[in-house]
Amino acid sequence: MKVLIVGSGGREHAIASSVAKSPKVEKIYCAPGNAGIAQLAECVDIGVMDFDRLVAFAREKEIDFTIVAPDDPLVAGAVDAFEAAGLTAFGPRKNAAILEGSKAFSKDLMKKYNIPTAAYENFESAEEALKYLETADMPIVLKADGLALGKGVLICNTLEEAKEGVKSIMLDKQFGNAGNKLVIEEFMTGREVSVLSFVDGKTIKPMTSAQDHKRAQDGDQGLNTGGMGTFSPSPFYTPEVDAFCKEHIYQATVDAMAAEGREFKGIIFFGLMLTEKGPKVLEYNARFGDPEAQVVLPRMKNDIMEVMQACIDGTLDQVDLQFEDNAAVCVVLASDGYPVKYEKGKKITGLSAFEDQKDYFCFHAGTKQSGEDIVTNGGRVLGITATGKDLVEARKKAYEATEWVSFENKYMRHDIGKAIDEMD
Ligand code: AMP
Ligand code: GLY
């Protein structure tokens, strides 16, 4: 089987590593990929939004199975483009990827089908949003409707801040057209947990839980980023939480999408908050998380190609999804200054330490080959992941391995997975 992976980050490297383990797979291509993925796959320089060229490439190389990993192409209809050409592609079609593509849509869906989430209102005019704020309780949360690189959420402590936020999202278009509509929602408090799941349109199989660290600096300070590290499983995702989510959230979401004529096949990523009143949905994503995939996939026992094929065939009910009884921690090595301003092109050394390791993984996020060297090519550079018998061991090993690689302006958080200590 020939497989094409669309994307270029740490998530795609983790997906490529799982795909490479499948005995069904003879050749992997990745568009556009990065220097780490290039060790497993043939990378081809086609952008993730260039559907015409992606489809032409898949035809020319007789690709059997394409995995579309990032949100932008999914929301814009990449899977539809492959299917229209008679090709097999994994991921939701455009009419289902709207679950991530429009926060107003997902909030309305949850309200209509009684799926627990924060109370909210949708707005299409700044004037109405500003009027609403006058009588709202603070803090309050503003969310640009569309995709905004994970940055379209503002938590506002005062009325002044909230008004400024409405202006910058809806009038100044800080996030472009993503801010044409705005969701204003109740501020909630609690632990956050991510649960990724495979979905075949009818059946949903949740994977093991994970937790992301979104802020740039230790102690959850600084700006929001794509994610500075993750651990899996989350000790806060107890059997009780799991049972509640299975009863009220997971299947309910899949059934709601089907009832709306938007059959969902692919990955649903549930961003959950464990509030005093029970688990609630913070957000849905229509894809693997990055860096959640880097801790969840190394723990998966199944052949990923079999599970993905079952999602496409509608036979996921016959799959026994299993994870190792261990733990994983991923620490992101970033370029100092991320997510605002940072330098690229710095030589990375020490990568060979990860060769032939079983419990240590170095997933490349922003890297590229430059002559003989591998150099930094993004804000998030590498995802250093380790597995261990439990979270404490995995965390220790992951931090040890962060010392194996060097590059100028290397930056990381030092408290990934620290929440684990609070469990003692
Ligand atoms: P989202 O992209 O919707 O997951 O939001 C990004 C982050 O903002 C979440 O991971 C939470 O930390 C925070 N957040 C989003 N919605 C709320 C809310 N209603 N209450 C409190 N925090 C929130
Ligand atoms: N790590 C969060 C995301 O992938 O959206």
CA distances from 27 to 20, 21, 30, 41, 65 (A): 8, 11, 10, 7, 11
Distance 298 CA to ligand 2 centre (A): 17
Domain identity same for 201 and 310: yes
| Average pLDDT value for residue range 121-137 | 93
| Tokens representing residue 383 in the block | 């995802």
Is the minimum distance from the CB of 285 to ligand 2 under 6 angstroms? yes
Query: Other CB atoms closer than 10 Å to residue 27's CB: what's the count?
Result: 14
Is the minimum distance from the CB of 260 to ligand 2 under 6 angstroms? no
Q: Is residue 106 part of a domain?
A: no
Domain identity same for 200 and 295: yes
Q: Per residue in 283-300, pLDDT tens?
A: 999 999 999 999 999 999
Q: For 249-342, where are the E strands, in sequence order?
A: 265-275, 278-285, 327-335
Distance CA 137, CA 84 (A): 48
Domain identity same for 218 and 313: yes
Q: Is residue 341 part of a domain?
A: yes
The C-alpha torsion from 385 through 390 and 396 to 400, rounded to 10°, is: -40
Q: Is residue 112 part of a domain?
A: no
Distance 393 CA to ligand 1 centre (A): 29
Distance CA 3, CA 315 (A): 20
In angstroms, what is the C-alpha Rg of the chain?
Answer: 21
Kindly tell me if the per-residue pLDDT of 421 is higher than 80. Answer: no
Domain identity same for 200 and 302: yes
Determine phi and psi for 33, rounding to 5 degrees.
Answer: 75, -170
Q: Is residue 294 part of a domain?
A: yes
Q: Per residue in 265-287, pLDDT tens?
A: 999 999 999 999 999 999 999 99
Kindly tell me if the per-residue pLDDT of 316 is higher than 50. Answer: yes
Domain identity same for 239 and 341: no
Distance 372 CA to ligand 2 centre (A): 32
**According to the model, what pLDDT value does residue 148 have?**
86
Q: Is residue 416 part of a domain?
A: yes
Q: What's CA 43's distance to the chain center, in Å?
A: 22
Kindly tell me if the per-residue pLDDT of 231 is higher than 60. Answer: yes
CATH code, 399: 3.90.600.10
User: What is the total count of domains within the chain?
Assistant: 4
pLDDT tier at 423 (50, 70, 90 boundaries)?
low
pLDDT tier at 65 (50, 70, 90 boundaries)?
very high
Q: Per residue in 162-206, pLDDT tens?
A: 999 999 999 999 899 999 999 999 999 999 999 999 999 999 999
Is the minimum distance from the CB of 70 to ligand 2 under 6 angstroms? no
Domain identity same for 161 and 233: no
**According to the model, what pLDDT value does residue 25 have?**
98
Domain identity same for 247 and 274: yes
Domain identity same for 284 and 344: no
Q: What angle do CA 266, 272, 276 make, to 5 degrees?
A: 155
CATH code, 161: 3.30.1490.20
Q: Which of 318, 341, 356 is the last residue of a domain?
A: 318
Q: Which of 100, 269, 281, 330 to mutate to test the pocket of ligand 2 (most atoms within 8 A of CB)?
A: 269
**According to the model, what pLDDT value does residue 151 have?**
77
pTM for the structure as a whole: 0.96
Q: Is residue 107 part of a domain?
A: no
Domain identity same for 88 and 126: no
Distance 211 CA to ligand 1 centre (A): 13
The minimum-distance atom of ligand 1 relative to the CA of 152 is 2
**According to the model, what pLDDT value does residue 424 have?**
46
Please report the DSSP string for 201-222 in residue order: SS-EEEEEEEEE--EEEGGGEE
Q: Per residue in 67-123, pLDDT tens?
A: 999 999 999 999 999 999 999 999 999 999 999 999 999 999 999 999 999 999 999
DSSP annotation of 423 reads: G
Q: Is residue 114 part of a domain?
A: no
Distance 18 CA to ligand 2 centre (A): 19
Q: For 65-190, where are the E strands, in sequence order?
A: 65-68, 89-90, 120-123, 140-144, 153-156, 182-186
CATH code, 72: 3.40.50.20
CATH code, 218: 3.30.470.20
Prior bond of 23 cis (ω within 30°): no
Is the minimum distance from the CB of 292 to ligand 2 under 6 angstroms? yes
Q: Which of 295, 318, 341 is the last residue of a domain?
A: 318
- The dihedral built from the CA positions of residue 108, 267, 1 and 45, taken in this order, carries a sign that is positive
Using CA positions, which residue lies closest to atom 11 of ligand 1?
282
Q: Is residue 100 part of a domain?
A: no
Query: Other CB atoms closer than 10 Å to residue 355's CB: what's the count?
Result: 9
Kindly tell me if the per-residue pLDDT of 335 is higher than 80. Answer: yes
Element (H, E) at 376: strand 373-376
The percent of residues in the chain predicted with pLDDT above 70, rounded, is: 99
Domain identity same for 201 and 314: yes
Determine phi and psi for 68, rounding to 5 degrees.
Answer: -95, 110
Range of the domain at 261: 191-318
The amino acid present at 98, given as its one-letter code, is: I
Domain identity same for 81 and 132: no
Domain identity same for 311 and 260: yes
Q: Is 97 exposed, middle or buried (0-12, 13-18, 19+ CB in 10 A)?
A: buried
Q: Which of 140, 158, 186 is the last residue of a domain?
A: 186
Q: Which of 285, 288, 380, 413 to mutate to test the pocket of ligand 2 (most atoms within 8 A of CB)?
A: 285
